C-alpha cells in the first residue's frame, strides 16, 4: 500500500509528496524535526515531542504555523490515514520557500510535513548481542555555535561522525564534546553502568535531551537505581560494567565494545536488560 504524506494540511501519495527546491529546509538545512514512535496505535510521549519541536523552532526564530493541539491531531490523523499502529513518525517544519539568499525573512510560511512509515530498527540480533561502537574525531558541535538541544534539519555534524564510525566498521559512533567529554551517539543518547549506578552525560555536555533518555532515567529510579548526570570521559566508558544507547528509533540497545575494549564481560549486562524490558513494557502498555 502506498503511503500518504501530510504536507500543510493536505495528503499526497508518497510519489507526489514534493517540496520546492527553493525551500530553505533544502537550501540551508533551515528547519526542525522530530522522530516519534507509535505502539499499538498509541503515540509514545507525543506531547513531549511536540513541546521539543516548538522549543527547537523558537530557538531558531521560527513559528510553527499551527497550534500544538492541531499538530497532535494531524499526527494522529496521518497515522490513521495510513492504517499504521506500530509506526515511526517524522515531523518536519521547514523555514519555507525563499530566494537563494540566507535571509529567512524572505521565506513564506514554514511548511509542515508529517511522514508516517515503518521503522527499520537495528537488526534484531544486535538487540540480543549488543553493538560495537567507536569514539570519533569529529566533536559534537559547540553549544555556543548551535545548541545540540535544537533538533535541526542540519545533521551534518552527526553524519560526519556516522561516516567515521562506519569506516571503522561500526554501526554507531560516539561523539565527544568540545571539552573531550562523552556527549552522545549520532542518533542516540549514551548511558554507562558502574558499580550499580547509572551514569549519563548532563544536558550541558552539549547533547539532545532525548525523550527516551528521560523515560529510561525515570524507570531506573523506579527500580531503585541511582542515576547520575555527570561529565564522563572515554576512561569512564572503558571501565564501565555496562553500556547502552537510547533513542526513539533504537529504544534501548546494549553496547558491548567501545574502541575495541569489551564492556564488562562483553555481553549485555543485567541492568541494561532490565531497563530494555521495562522500557518495552512501558511503550506497549
Ligand atoms: N541524540 C541525537 C543527536 C538524536 O538525533 C537522540 C539523541 C535520541 O532522542 P529521542 O528523543 O529520540 O530519545 C536522537 C534521536 C534514527 C534517528 O533514525 C534518530 C534521531 C533523529 C533522526 C533519526 O535513529 N534522533
Predicted pLDDT of residue 1: 64
DSSP 8-state assignment for residue 164: H
**Length of the chain in terms of residues written:** 285
Q: Do the beta carbons of residue 258 and residue 135 sit within 8 Å?
A: yes
**Cα distance from N-terminal residue to C-terminal residue, the chain:** 28
Place of cell 565527544: 176
How far is the C-alpha of 22 from the C-alpha of 79, rounded, in Å?
28
Residue range(s) occupied by CATH 3.20.10.10 in the chain: 124-284
CA nearest 227: which of 209, 244, 214? 214
Question: CATH number of the domain at 124-284, please?
Answer: 3.20.10.10
Q: Do the beta carbons of residue 151 and residue 34 sit within 8 Å?
A: yes
Q: In 3-state terms, what secondary structure has residue 251?
A: strand
Q: Residue 39 has which C-alpha cell?
A: 505502539
Question: CATH number of the domain at 4-117, please?
Answer: 3.30.470.10
* 28 Cα: distance to centroid of ligand 1 (angstroms): 20
Q: Residue 130 has which C-alpha cell?
A: 549488543
Q: Is residue 42 annotated as part of the catalytic site, yes or no? A: no
Binding-site residues, ligand 1, Cβ < 6 A: 35, 158, 184, 187-189, 208, 210-213, 246-250
* 99 Cα: distance to centroid of ligand 1 (angstroms): 30
Residue range(s) occupied by CATH 3.30.470.10 in the chain: 4-117
Place of cell 567529554: 181
Q: What is the number of the ligand 1 atom nearest to the C-alpha of 250?
A: 24
* 35 Cα: distance to centroid of ligand 1 (angstroms): 7
CA nearest 243: which of 277, 276, 207, 210? 276
Residue in 92, 139, 208, 252 to alter for ligand 1 test, most ligand atoms within 8 A of Cβ: 208
Q: Do the beta carbons of residue 226 and residue 271 sit within 8 Å?
A: no
C-alpha distance from residue 86 to each of 52, 80, 213, 264 (Å): 22, 11, 21, 34
Catalytic residue among 151, 162, 276, 281: 151
Could you state, in chain order, the average pLDDT of each consecutive group of 10 residues for the chain (285 residues)? 93 97 98 97 97 98 98 97 94 98 96 93 91 97 97 98 98 97 98 98 98 98 98 98 97 98 97 98 93
Place of cell 567501545: 258
Q: Residue 96 has which C-alpha cell?
A: 519555507
Predicted pLDDT of residue 121: 75
Q: In 3-state terms, what secondary structure has residue 137?
A: coil
Amino acid at each position: 500500500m502506498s503511503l500518504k504524506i501530510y504536507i500543510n494540511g493536505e495528503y499526497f501519495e508518497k510519489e507526489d509528496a514534493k517540496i520546492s527546491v527553493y525551500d530553505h529546509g533544502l537550501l540551508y538545512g533551515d528547519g526542525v524535526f522530530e522522530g516519534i514512535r507509535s505502539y499499538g496505535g498509541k503515540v509514545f510521549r507525543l506531547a513531549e515531542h511536540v513541546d521539543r519541536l516548538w522549543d527547537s523552532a523558537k530557538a531558531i526564530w521560527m513559528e510553527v504555523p499551527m497550534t500544538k493541539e492541531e499538530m497532535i491531531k494531524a499526527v494522529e490523523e496521518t497515522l490513521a490515514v495510513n492504517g499504521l499502529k506500530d509506526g515511526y513518525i517524522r515531523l518536519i517544519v521547514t523555514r519555507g520557500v525563499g530566494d537563494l539568499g540566507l535571509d529567512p525573512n524572505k521565506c513564506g510560511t514554514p511548511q509542515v510535513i508529517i511522514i508516517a512509515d515503518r521503522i527499520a530498527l537495528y537488526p534484531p540480533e544486535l538487540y540480543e548481542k549488543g553493538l560495537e561502537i567507536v569514539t570519533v574525531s569529529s566533536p559534537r558541535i559547540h553549544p555556543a555555535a548551535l545548541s545540540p538541544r535544537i533538533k535541526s534539519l542540519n545533521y551534518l555534524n552527526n553524519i560526519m561522525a556516522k561516516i567515521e564510525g562506519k569506516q571503522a566498521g561500526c554501526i554507531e559512533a560516539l561523539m565527544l564534546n568540545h571539552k573531550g567529554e562523552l556527549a552522545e551517539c549520532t542518533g542516540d543518547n549514551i548511558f554507562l553502568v558502574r558499580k550499580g549506578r547509572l551514569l549519563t552525560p548532563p544536558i550541558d555536555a552539549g547533547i539532545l535531551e532525548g525523550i527516551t533518555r528521560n523515560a529510561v532515567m525515570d524507570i531506573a529510579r523506579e527500580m531503585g537505581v541511582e542515576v547520575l548526570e555527570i561529565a564522563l570521559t572515554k576512561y569512564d566508558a572503558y571501565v564501565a560494567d555496562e553500556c547502552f544507547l537510547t533513542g526513539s528509533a533504537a529504544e534501548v540497545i546494549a553496547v558491548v565494545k567501545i574502541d575495541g575494549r569489551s564492556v564488562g564481560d562483553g555481553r549485555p549486562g543485567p541492568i541494561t536488560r532490565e531497563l530494555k524490558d521495562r522500557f518495552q513494557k512501558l511503550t506497549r502498555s
